[in-house]
Structure 1
Amino acid sequence: MGAGTQALVFLLQVVFGLVVFLFIVRFLMRATFVDWRLPLVHVVARLTNWACAPLGRIIPIRGRWDLAALAAAFLIEMVYVLLIGTVTGRSFGVGVVFIALAETLNVLLDTLFWLVIIAVILSWIQPGYNPNLAIFQQMAEPILRPFQRLIPPLGGLDLSPIVAIVAIKLAQILLVGPLAGFAQGFVPPMGM
């Protein structure tokens, strides 16, 4: 692969990665009941409405689950994989669906991981209430709640974020890894 192709693949990775991330964040904001009147939430909504509004007619929001945002993330991942195949001269066959599914799940779990990390850091350094920073804690709270029930604070020290991080990373290993491996079974070897 030449330098131009590598540069194009890198740019596609960055652009499509950010777009998919925005849709995952939208899904998580709805799932965690973040206040939709906040400016940061408005930005995410405006940047993702172009796909979520039409998909929302097919896949309506059910309570807290904005499945149209997840579907948009998945479809964008499929387009990304197809573009990478075109740029690199590879055919992914039916594997496109499974690669896109694995990547969407991976971005979702990575986002959960970083939400927990950011919420922990903000709990240490946040001097006062800031609605845009509180979004991160609101989004992390439902992730941490089951672990907080499982492991109560010990001497004022909350160990639930550590357990949550371990669980998220285990889910990536146990779910994303095998799914990606399964997807590779559909990808023809190079040169075929």
Structure 2
Amino acid sequence: MRLIERLLPHGTNYDFIRYRLFAFGITAFLIVGSLVSIAVKGFNFGIDFAGGILIEAQATSGPANLHAMRTSLGELNLGEVSLQEFGTTGRDVMIRIQRQDGAEKAQMDALAKVKDTLGPGFSYRRVEIVGPKVGGELVRDGVWAVVLSLLAIAVYVWFRFEWQFGVGALISTFHDVITTFGLFSITGLEFNLTTVAAILTIAGYSVN
């Protein structure tokens, strides 16, 4: 308690309201900028939404060499290829490849090229080919999840707080969600199902 008193002497008064117009301006700028970026640039959808090939590979002898794998797979000209190590052994690798132009045969040909390039040193625990129809359904479901969660929060705030505080809570939640969407749009970070889960978490915490 004494430490707090030394940091904030008795009678200290910080006039935050004095800077409200500046804060309003920054908030409006972030929201408008985010909406413009979303409308003009859109999102860098991951395989979950855009479709593509998902492979869980495991090195059969020793840890996987991600650098060598990126180099060899990059030479296949399959478009965007991302590798992510998971697990604790250093042998498990998640490989994501963007959807290839063409029908199912084009996806299978790309998968065969990947397996041939990696060689016999890997086993494959899971292979998924996500089509554009499935990706579109996931986009729709993700949008509905965010919208319904915001509506539920609005109903809760309506009954829980006085209207002045309720409006402030809803505006702050809207601000946090929209600017997070804007961040992904502006930076081009991959937007996937994990992102949707994170945004739902942000919406929940914003009320607090």
Task: Check whether TM > 0.5.
Answer: no
TM-score where L is the length of structure 1: 0.30
Bigger fraction of residues in strand = 2
Higher relative contact order (CA closer than 8 Å, sequence separation 6+) = 2
TM-score where L is the length of structure 2: 0.29
Larger Rg, first or second structure (1 or 2): 2
